[in-house]
Structure 1
Amino acid sequence: MRTTGTTRLVGIAAGLSAIALALTPSLVPRPALFQGFLAGLSFGLAYLAAAFLCRLAARFYARRRTLASAPRLTFPLWVWWLVGAAGVGYTVVIGLLAIAWQNDVRDKVDMPAVDGVDLLTFFAVTLVMAGVVFGAHRGLTAIAAMARRQVSRVSEQAGVIRTSGILAGALCAVVVLGLLVTAALVGTDRVYAARNASTPEGISEPDSTARSAGAESAVDWDKLGMQGRAFVGGGPTAAQITAVTHIPAKTPVRVYVGQQQEDSLAARAELAVAELKRTGGFERATLMVATPTGSGWLERQAIDSLEYLQGGDTAIVSLQYSYQPSWVSFLFHQDLPREAGQELFSAVHAEWLTLPEQERPRLLVYGLSLGASGMQAAFSDSSDMLTSVDGAVFSGAPNNSQPWGTLQDQRDTGSPPWQPVYDSGKNIRWLSNNGDFEKLPGTWEATRVAYLQHGTDAVSWLTPRLIWSKPDWLGGSAASGGRAPDVSDSMRWIPGVTYLQVAFDMFMGEAVPANHGHNFGDVAVAAWNGVAPSGLDEESVARVQSIIASYAHEDSIDN
C-alpha cells in the first residue's frame, strides 16, 4: 500500500511537535546555535520515526485486506496549501513562545535577552541540521539496500532471500553507525590528547622544591599533562599572598602526578605521597587531597582561595586519571574518578596516620563535578567522612555520587532539594550564594563539610528517574517554594523530554554567569573560610574575595 501523502503529513506533524518539545525551557539558556541544533535534530528524527511507523501500519493494513493491493492515498493541492499555512502559523506561534521562554530563563540567570541575530542563527542551523539528519538517513538506507542486493545474489532459496536481505541491511546500517560513533570517539581522543600535551599560556616549568616537576622532583614536567602543568606552574606566591592578607606567608606546596607518569593509579598515588614527603607537605598546617575533573583540571578559584586564606601554609595533592573532558568519563568511565579518589586518599591518609597526632596537618578533601564524585567515593558514608577528615568541600556533585544522594534523600523535613538542611546543619551544610552558611541558627561543629550546589546545575539533577518520574525540584512555582529562585516557572516536567533537556543542559552549565549553573568560583572563598576558618579579619577576606572574583571566566571551565 503506497501512502506517500499520509506518511509525509504524519512525519511533518511529528517533526513540528518534536520541535515544540525541544524548544520548551529548561534549567539554563541555550545559545541560538545549540538550540537550532536540537530543533533540527528533533524534527529530523521525529519525522523519520513517524514515517517508519506509518509505513509499518500501512503494510499491516494491506496484508489484512482481501484485495491484492490497496489504493494509493492522494490529497488535492488545497490540502497541501492548508498544511503549509498551518505549519507556518504553528512555527510562528512556537517561535514566539520559544523566545518568551528563553528570555524568561535568561532573565533568571542574569543574561541579556535574545536578539534578531540569534533568531536568524536558530532558523539557519535548524534547516541545516534537519538536512544532515535526512542526508544521513538516505545514506544509511542506500547502504542497507546495497547489502540486501548482495545477499540476494548469493542466495538461492526465495524464502531466504527476503529475510536474510533485510537482516543484512539492518546489520550493515548498525555497523556503519558503530563505525561513525567509534570515529567520533577516536577523533575526540586525538583532539584532547593533543591538548594534554600542550602547556597553557603564561605557565612555565617550576624550579621550586615545593612543586612537583620542580627542583629534585621525581615527576617529569612533560608527563604532567596540560592541567597538571597549569596546576604546579600556577598559583599565588608567598609575596602575593602577603600583599593581600598583610600577614607573612609561605610558598604553597603543590603536588601533582600526571597520567603518563605511571601506568596504574596505585603507582601514581604512591609517587604523590613520596612527593608530599619531599616537599614537606606533611609538615604544613593544612593538607588538602583533591580529585580533579575528567581532564585533570582543578578549579583555580577553589585552589587559590585556600592558599590565600591559609597564608600559603598549605599542601595540595592530586593526580590525573584521564585527559578527556568530563562528559566522556561520565558516559564511558564513571568508575575511574572514584577509583582515583579512593587510591589517592587511602595512600595519603595512611601516611598521615603514621604522624604523631599533635603533629598532623589539618586534613581536607575537595572535588568539583566528577572530582566531587571521585573524592566522596573515598568514604563509605557520611559518618566515615566525618571521622576521617577535618573538612571537605564538594562542588556540583553529580546525581549518582554518594554520600550526596543519601544526604539529599534524608534531608530535614521542609528543606528543599536545591538548598537542603541535614541534621540541622550540625556538620554538613549547603552553599549556593555567599551567606547561606549563616542562615542556619545552630552551631556548625567540626568536622565541617560543605556542598556547593545551584538549583540550575544539571549535573546535580540528571538521573534516569527523570524519564518517568517528576522530580521534587520541579514541585511548583518559585514563589511558592516549589523550585529554586533561578529556575523558570515555565519549565515543566515532560516524560522523557525533561531528561534529554537536562542532559543537554550539562553542556551549557558553565556558559552562564556566577551563582548559576555549574559555576562555583564566586563562593569558593566563603566555602573554605566556613569549612576551615582562616582567622583573617573581614577586610582581609574581602581582599581575597576581590582577587578571586577578578579571575577570568575561562578559569572556571573544564577545558
Structure 2
Amino acid sequence: MIPRAGALQGVSAGLSLAVGYGIGVLISGLWSLLELPRPGMQTLRRAVWAALVFAGAVIIWGLAGAAGGQQPLHDAMGLPPVESARPWTIAAVGGVLAAILIFLGRLFVAAMQTISRRLTPMWPPRLAMLVAFLATVIIFNFIGNDLILNRIVSGLDLSYAGIDAMISDEIDPPQDPLKTGSPASLISWDSIGNQGRNRVSDPLDAAAIADITGEPAMEPIRVYVGLGSAETAEDRARLALDEAIRVGAFDRKTLVIATPTGTGWIDPSGAFPLEVLTHGDVATISVQYSYLPSWLSLLTVPEYGAESAREVFLAIYHHWRSLPRDARPKLYLFGLSLGALNSDLSVDFFDLVGDPFTGAFWVGPPFASHSWGQITADRDPGSPAWLPTFRDGAVVRFLNQFEMPQSGQPWGSFRIAYLQYGSDAITFFSPSILWREPDWMKAPRAPDVVENFRWIPVVTFLQVGFDLLTATTTPKGFGHDIAGTDYLKGWVALLSPEGWNDPALDRVRAAMAERGL
C-alpha cells in the first residue's frame, strides 16, 4: 500500500522468511508430538532439498521483481523511479534479519528441550513438553518484554516527554487575553506542551483570514490544555471548559472539540480551512492526553485517550446543552487518526437522542474505530469498503481525495463525515487479513491501491502491518498524510458555509498551497 525504502522492505522480507520457517518448524513439531508416521530418511532428504530449491526459486523470483513491483506504486503517488539496487538491499537486510530471528527461534526450542529433558524422568513426556513450553514462554517473555521492551518504552517515554517540554525561543508567550497561555489565561504557557504552544501560536489570525477571503474576519479562539496543566483527565476537562467560558468560546457561531493525536498535535492542514471558512468566527477546544506518538500511545496507554476525550466532551456538551437553543453555537467533533478514534469513543448513543450536537468530522479513522467499522460493515451493497455509501447519506458520508459520493443529496441537520484514503493502512489494516482477503482489495479498488498488490495469507498481513509504520511517509494526499484540500472539501460539506463559490474556494486552496498545507 505504501512505497518503502529498500531497507524497510528488506526487514519485511526477512520477517516473512522467518515466519515461514517458523510455521514449518511448528508443523514438524506437531507432527512428531502426535506421533504421526514419518517418511524414511532418504525420502525426507529429498523433500528437504526440493523445499529448499523451491524456496530459493521463489526468493530469486521475488527479488527480480522487487523494483518493478514497487514502480506502479511510485507512479501512482508521483514519486521518483525505484532504484535499481533495491533487490540487493532487500536481500542483504532480509537475510541478516531472518538469520537473527531463526537463531532466536532455535534458541527457544533448545531451551524448551533442555527443560523438557529434566522433567521427563518425573512426568509423562507430553506433559513435560507442555510444561517446558510454558516455562520457556515465561522466560522469554520476561527477558523480551520486562527487561528489553519496557526499558525501550521507558526510554521513548522520557524522550518524548522531553520534546514535549521544550520551549522554542522562536515562540513568545501570547499577550492577547483571548489566547491560552497569556497573562490573563487560566492555563500557564509552560504547561500546554510543545504541540499546544504551536497550536496557540498558529499565525493564521484575523488579518490573514481577511486577506484570503476579502471580507472582515474575527480572531479564531484556540483553547488548549496540556498534560501538565492539571493532574487528572477530569480536572483538565474542567479547566478547558472554564478557559472556554473565559474567552467567550460559546459566543462564537461554531464550536469544535478537536481531539488531538497521541502527541497532542492538531493538524494545521485541518484547522486552517475550518478557521477560514468560518471567517474566524470559531472556537476550537483541545485537551492533550499523551505526548507519545499515536501508535505508541495506543499500545501502551490506550485507555487514556478515550477517558480524556469522554471527560472533555461531557464537560463541553453539558454546558453547551444548558444554553438556549437560539443562543448557542453549532457544536462539532473533530479528530485525526487516534484523535478520530478517541473522539468517536467520547460519545454514546444517549448523547444523540435528547439534544444532539451538530456533527463530527473524523479523518483517517484507525481500523479499531468502532462506529467506523460498524458503518463500513453495514454499507450499501455494491459500494466499496474504501468509499462506502451508507443508506441515503442523510447522516453519514464518506469522502477521499478523489470524490464524495451522495454529495448532491439532501443532508440532515446532524452530520458525520469520514475522510479516508484507500492507501491508508492505519485505516484498512485488520487482523483478519492473516487468513482472509479484505474487501478493500477486491475489485473495484481505490485508485491509489495498485492492481499488482495481491493477497497472500500471512504475507499480506505482514506487509500491511509494516505499512502501518510508514503510513505517514507518503506524499500528501496518500496513505495517512492528509492534504489540506481534502480537509477543505470535508469542512465545506459538513458546515455548508454561505457565500463560498468556486473562485473563493480557489483562493483558500492557493493560500494552503503557499503554506505547504
- Aligning the two structures, in what range does the TM-score lie when normalised by the shorter sequence? 0.7 to 0.9
AA partner of residue 440 (structure 2):
W
TM-aligned CA distance change 1:343 to 1:385, over 3 Å: farther
Compute the displacement of 1:308 (Å): 1.4
Do residues 223 (structure 1) and 191 (structure 2) align? yes
Q: Identity of aligned pairs, percent?
A: 32
Q: How does 1:280-319 map to 2 (within 5 A)?
A: 280-319=248-287
- For residues 120 and 343 of structure 1, what CA distance do their matches in structure 2 show? 52
Deviation at 1:241, TM superposition (A): 1.2
Q: Given the alignment of the two structures, is residue 359 of structure 1 paired with residue 322 of structure 2, yes or no?
A: no
Letter in 1 for 2:504: S
Determine which structure has more spread, i.e. the larger CA radius of gyration: 1
- Please, which of 278, 303, 306 is the counterpart of residue 338 of structure 1? 306
For residue 542 of structure 1, the aligned residue among 488, 498, 506 is 506
Which residue does 2:473 correspond to in 1? 511
Query: CA 1:441–1:84 in 2, change beyond 3 Å: closer, same or farther?
Result: closer
- The DSSP-based 3-state class of the residue aligned with 1:224 is helix
Task: State the partner residue of 1:525.
Answer: 488
- Against the structure 1 CA distance between its residues 529 and 89, is the aligned structure 2 distance closer, same or farther, given a 3 Å change threshold? same
Residue range with higher mean Cα deviation, 96-105 or 360-369: 96-105
Q: Counterpart amino acid of 1:531?
A: L
Letter of the aligned partner of 1:530 in structure 2? A
CA contact (8 A) 1:147 1:169 kept: no
1:59 deviates by 8.4
- 2: CA distance, partners of 1:297 / 1:198: 15
Match of 2:21 among 47, 55, 71: 47
Q: Verify: 1:461 aligned to 2:428, yes or no.
A: yes
CA drift of 1:301 comes to 0.8
C-alpha distance in 2, partners of 1:374/1:408? 18
Distance 1:250 1:475 in 2: 48
Q: CA deviation at 1:31?
A: 2.0
Deviates more, 1:375-384 or 1:519-528: 375-384
CA distance in 2, matches of 1:141, 1:296: 43
Could you tell me which residue of structure 2 aligns to residue 556 of structure 1?
A: none
* 1:70-85 pair list within 5 angstroms: none
Kept in 1, the 8 Å contact 2:63–2:91? The answer is no
Cα 1:116/1:109, change in 2 over 3 Å:
same
487-496 vs 345-354, greater mean Cα deviation = 487-496
Q: Distance in 2 between matches of 1:382 and 1:469?
A: 35
Give the counterpart letter for 2:7 in structure 1.
L
For residues 366-377 of structure 1, what are the structure 2 equivalents within 5 Å?
Answer: 366-377=334-345
Decide which moves more: 208-217 or 133-142. 133-142
Counterpart-to-counterpart distance in 2, 1:290 and 1:148: 54
TM-score (norm 2): 0.87
CA displacement, residues 466-517 of structure 1 (integer Å, 9 cap, x when unaligned): 33333222223xxxx2x21221222233334333332222222222223321
1:500 equivalent to 2:462? Answer: yes
Cα gap change, 1:168 to 1:451, in 2 (>3 Å): closer
Mapped contact 2:108–2:136 kept (Cα < 8 A): no
Q: What residue is the counterpart of 1:486 in the other structure?
A: 448
> Which residue of structure 2 lines up, in the alignment, with residue 406 of structure 1?
374
2-structure distance, mates of 1:461, 1:46: 24
Question: What is the number of equivalent residue pairs in this alignment?
Answer: 509
Matched with 2:204 is: 236
Query: Which has the higher mean CA deviation after the structures are superposed, 538-547 or 166-175?
Result: 166-175
What CA distance in whole angstroms lies between the structure 2 residues aligned with 1:494 and 1:112? 27
Q: What code does the residue aligned with 2:477 have?
A: N
SS at match of 1:295: coil
Aligned: 1:473 with 2:440: yes
Is the contact between residue 426 and residue 468 of structure 2 (CA under 8 Å) also seen in structure 1? yes
Task: Specify the alignment match of 1:123 in structure 2.
Answer: 91
- The CA deviation at 1:201 is 7.7
Q: Is the 8 A contact 2:321 2:355 kept in 1?
A: no
Partner amino acid, structure 2, of 1:514: K
Q: Distance in 2 between matches of 1:416 and 1:336?
A: 33
Q: Deviations over 1:271-315 (max 9, x none)?
A: 000000111111112111111111111111111211112111111
Secondary structure of 2:285's counterpart equals strand
Give the aligned CA root-mean-square deviation in angstroms: 3.4
Shift of the alpha carbon at 1:319?
A: 0.3
The verdict on how the C-alpha distance between 1:213 and 1:46 changes in structure 2, with shifts beyond 3 A counting, is same
Q: TM-score under structure 1 normalisation?
A: 0.81
* SS state at 2:339 partner: helix
423-432 vs 51-60, greater mean Cα deviation: 51-60
The match for 2:408 is: 441
Structure 2 CA distance for aligned equivalents of residues 300 and 382 of structure 1: 32
1:202–1:527 CA distance, 2 compared to 1 (3 A): farther
Contact 1:205/1:214, CA 8 A, preserved across alignment: yes
Mark the CA change 1:29 to 1:377 in structure 2 (over 3 Å): closer, same or farther.
Answer: same
| Kept after mapping to 1: 8 A contact 2:361/2:416 | yes
| Unmatched runs of 5 consecutive residues or more in structure 1 | 1-26, 554-559
Instruction: Tell me: CA distance 1:123–1:201, structure 2 relative to 1, closer, same or farther (3 Å).
Output: farther
- For the 8 Å contact 1:290–1:365, the answer to whether it is kept is yes
- Once the 2 structures are TM-superposed, how far is the Cα of residue 269 of structure 1 from its aligned partner? 0.6
Residue-by-residue CA offset, 1:431-464 (whole Å, 9 max, x unaligned)? 1126526x64322342332210111112222233
CA distance, structure 2, for counterparts of residue 88 and residue 469 of structure 1: 26
Please give the alpha-carbon distance, in whole angstroms, between the structure 2 residues aligned to 1:44 and 1:38: 10
Deviation at 1:64, TM superposition (A): 9.3
SS of 1:363 mapped into structure 2: strand
Contact 2:417–2:490 (CA under 8 A) maintained in structure 1: yes
Letter in 1 for 2:86: D
Distance across 2 between alignment mates of 1:545 and 1:122:
40
Letter in 2 for 1:219: I
Question: Which structure 2 residue ranges, 5 or more long, are not aligned?
Answer: none
Match of 1:177 in 2: 144
Letter in 1 for 2:417: A
Structure 1 residues 529 and 171, CA gap change in structure 2 (3 angstroms): closer
Cα separation, 1, equivalents of 2:353 and 2:419: 17
Q: Deviations over 1:231-267 (max 9, x none)?
A: 1122401111111111122211111111122222111
Structure 2 residue aligned with 1:326: 294
State the 1:127 CA deviation: 3.0
